[in-house]
Structure 1
Amino acid sequence: MTTLQPERTVTATIFPHPLNAWYAAGWDHEVTTRGVLGRTVAGKPLALYRTSDGRTVALADACWHRLAPLSMGRLVGNDEIQCPYHGLRYDSAGRCTQMPAQETVNPSAMVPSYPTVERYRYVWVWLGDPTLADPAKLPDMHQMDHPDWAGDGLTIEARCNYQLVLDNLMDLTHEEFVHGSTIGQAELSESEFHTRREDDGSVTVERWMRDVEPPPFWLGNMRDRFPGFTGRVDRWQIIHYYAPSTICIDVGVAKAGTGAPQGDRSQGVNGYVMNTITPETDRTSHYFWAFMRNYRLDSQLITTRLRDGVQGVFAEDEAMLTAQQAAIDANPGHEFYSLNIDAGGMWVRRILDRMLEAEQARR
């Protein structure tokens, strides 16, 4: 474990994305046997579908013949995509199996096929060197489908570079100013925090706010579990970053003085804000998120209310990130000055730099 300090400056620029990594291409329910889903991941347009035996497939979204988007086509025959323009067919490996008006298929007729894995309610795709596509490199998001947790989420089509979303999530002091009516409070800026690099390569930012008034969002959650609750709480935010772009945030409050900082959370409510951000282009991102909880698991009412409440909070982030991206574009070469609160985000940038350097060295 390594304690980290931020660098002083970083250029405000368009941050590139590594390709030797798993990115969420969509929710599992979006990829079906009924049609083809078109989605751009890390600058690469993809055609996604599910075979009749349940396997997920990701092909380049451009026919070998005239580059017509395969996502505009349909599934036919033995789990194949038919090009919508001239009818060429491709199997799940990307090899052309049929051409119009001829019996012989050109052996060079192929489109790239990318490794996929279905886990944690997402379909993940690997766009880099396929020999490195190890499912063990997927981030730990087990709360998404574990029976001890319940919740739901949505997708934000964020009009900003993916790194800006990572910066936002690695420093939650912005909640005091951006989300003052729901989850923000002054103690966020006043409390100490600790940033460290874990032995597994992840980054953790931990903050505790002891004996504080619960903000409206958390007061409502406490009353879901403890009807009529009043009083002060101990609040925590423990941010876990997994390269390249997944951040899972352990959050919650417990009745003040009941032992939550020492590990006893029985007198409180605990949630996980699950975030995985997939670059679409240099200036747009697919932001997949969910809020999971470990109490009142059978209540669909609470699940829906939490999802809708968090959606409203994240809409405030989305507006800020869109404005920030516009300002960056208008001020090329401007240097950000880093504060102590940026330690987590700066370490994320350092990790991404090293991933990109490793890919360049391989090429």
Structure 2
Amino acid sequence: MRDSIETRQPAPWPMNAWYVAATPDEIDGKPLGRRICGERMAIFRDAEGRAAAVEDFCPHRGAPLSLGFVRDGALVCGYHGLAMGCDGRAVGMPGQMVRNFPPIRAFATVERYGFIWVWPGEATRADPAKLHHLPWAGSDRWAYGGGMFRVACDYRLMIDNLMDLTHETYVHASSIGQKEIDEAAVKTRADADEVVTSRYMENVNPPPFWQMALRGSGLPDDVMVDRWQTCRFSLPSHVMIEVGVALAGRGGYDADPAVKASSIVVDFITPETETSHWYFWGMARQFAIHDTALTDEIRAGQQRIFSEDLEMLERQQHNLSDHPDRKLLKLNIDAGGVRSRMMIDRAIAGERDAAQATPSLLR
């Protein structure tokens, strides 16, 4: 048969990148099945307790390996008992010779910063040094609490949402929204590594969520404050948002920690399919770090806030799916999301160009 170059429509996300796949508790004592960037994975721990991820496909009869169990560091299929190693190779099966079974795909995996990360692309290119650096993770000067949602929309819609916080005035009117967000000028900049949008609001009333944070910091909650929001997008799909309030006229973002409550809203957005994603959210803070009750209160508050986003985004996806040819308007407040999408598109194009330079051939 004549040789032909394999052609495939590029995925709408970078493949050669680290994505958050799970939290450690999700694979304690059992495998986890999760689709990441279109790839169905079974995630588990090997005999040394290291996180591993393989294709969620038993080579015997195609059953999902994630429905099985872990024994002696191997992933045992729950259908007929074929055991698979973390390298994707069959290691045993009662009464059968399986060592020459063709391997299934194994994905590069790293456990760091309190998350399980996977690299859905070429495993040989996976470099842990390329993990997004999280200075707050693992530091005893920060407290962190968070959660996870599955959101039925294109992951890029969530990036749009987080890079333009204008919607807070309307979607989150009872928690973090206030009219001054609309009125504050938005600044956007982009460089090779990140896109940044920022807003600063001076001498405003703290909304309910920040009143809670002020009380948690031992500060009065009925005074005027200076407020800031700085959203930072980095590849493949991470958004870190520096947020906070300081007693008005005391320096704002640069104020002494004794007169402010500030934190980083953590957003890891991991594509599942073209119209769904896993959203790992949380807040890292440097005030009242030993107050576990406050951590729980903030987590509950964030969950309520993000639940409001979830409904809006999923229904937005329904509209876009029903009207794929409708052109959407772009305003100055959309600059952060637009620049972020451009960065994603460049990364995808780079992977496509690299793949075309070394095409695989089908016989």
Fold match (TM-score > 0.5): yes
Distance 1:107 1:51 in 2: 21
Cα offset for 1:347? 0.7
Q: Where does structure 1 lack aligned partners over 5 or more consecutive residues?
A: 1-13
User: How many Å apart are 1:261 and its aligned residue?
Assistant: 4.1
Partner in structure 1 of residue 85 of structure 2: 91
1:240 aligns with 2:236: no
Report if aligned partners of 1:151, 1:307 keep a CA contact under 8 Å in 2: no
Paired residues of 1:141 and 1:274 also in contact (CA < 8 A): no
What is the match of residue 289 of structure 1? 281
Matches within 5 A, 1:310-349: 310-349=302-341
Using the alignment, how far apart are the partners of 2:266 and 2:254 within structure 1?
24
Task: Name structure 2 gaps, 5 residues minimum.
Answer: 1-9, 356-363
Summarize deviations over 1:232-257 as a string: whole Å, max 9, x none.
11000011111111111110000011
Match of 2:269 in 1: 277
Rounded to whole Å, the distance in 2 between the matches of 1:309 and 1:185 is 16
* Aligned counterpart for 1:184 among listed residues 177, 186, 191: 177
- The counterpart of 1:44, out of the listed 20, 27, 39, is 39
Q: % of aligned pairs identical?
A: 40
**Counterpart contact for 2:155–2:277, Cα < 8 Å:** yes
C-alpha deviation, 1:100, in angstroms = 4.7
Residue 193 of structure 1, CA deviation: 2.1
Distance 1:144 1:175 in 2: 27
The residue number in structure 1 matching 2:358 is none
- Aligned counterparts of 1:43 and 1:24: Cα–Cα separation in 2: 14
1:7-29 deviation per Cα after TM superposition (whole angstroms, max 9, x unaligned):
xxxxxxx9812211111110122
Normalising by the residue count of structure 2, what TM-score does the alignment of the two structures yield?
0.91
Rounded Cα–Cα distance in structure 2 between residues aligned with 1:150 and 1:262: 20
Map residues 105-254 of structure 1 onto 2, 5 A cutoff.
Answer: 105=98, 107-198=100-191, 201-254=193-246
Instruction: Name 1:6's counterpart in structure 2.
Output: none
The RMSD of aligned alpha carbons is: 1.7
Residues in 1 aligned to 2:212 and 2:77: alpha-carbon distance in whole angstroms:
52
Q: Name which of structure 1's ranges 120-129 and 253-262 shifts more when overlaid on structure 2.
A: 253-262
Letter in 2 for 1:193: V
How far has the Cα of 1:350 moved from its partner? 0.4
Q: What secondary structure sits across from 1:141 in the alignment?
A: coil
- Structure 1 runs (4+) greater than 6 angstroms displaced: none
Query: In 2, Cα distance between the equivalents of 1:261 and 1:297?
Result: 19
Of 3, 11, 16 in structure 1, the residue corresponding to residue 12 of structure 2 is 16
| CA distance in structure 2 between the partners assigned to 1:54 and 1:101 by the alignment | 28
Q: Among residues 250, 259, 274, which one is paired with 1:258 in the alignment?
A: 250
Would the alpha carbon gap of residues 155 and 210 (structure 1) be closer, same or farther in structure 2, given more than 3 Å must change?
same
Is the contact made by 2:144 and 2:284 (CA closer than 8 Å) also made in structure 1? yes
Q: Which structure has the higher relative contact order (CA within 8 Å, separation 6+)?
A: 1
Measure, in 2, the Cα distance between the counterparts of 1:277 and 1:193.
Answer: 23
How many angstroms apart in 2 are the aligned matches of 1:89 and 1:44? 21
**Aligned equivalent of 1:58, options 45, 53, 60:** 53
Matched length = 346
Q: Deviations over 1:300-329 (max 9, x none)?
A: 110100000111011110010011000001
Shift of 1:88: 1.6
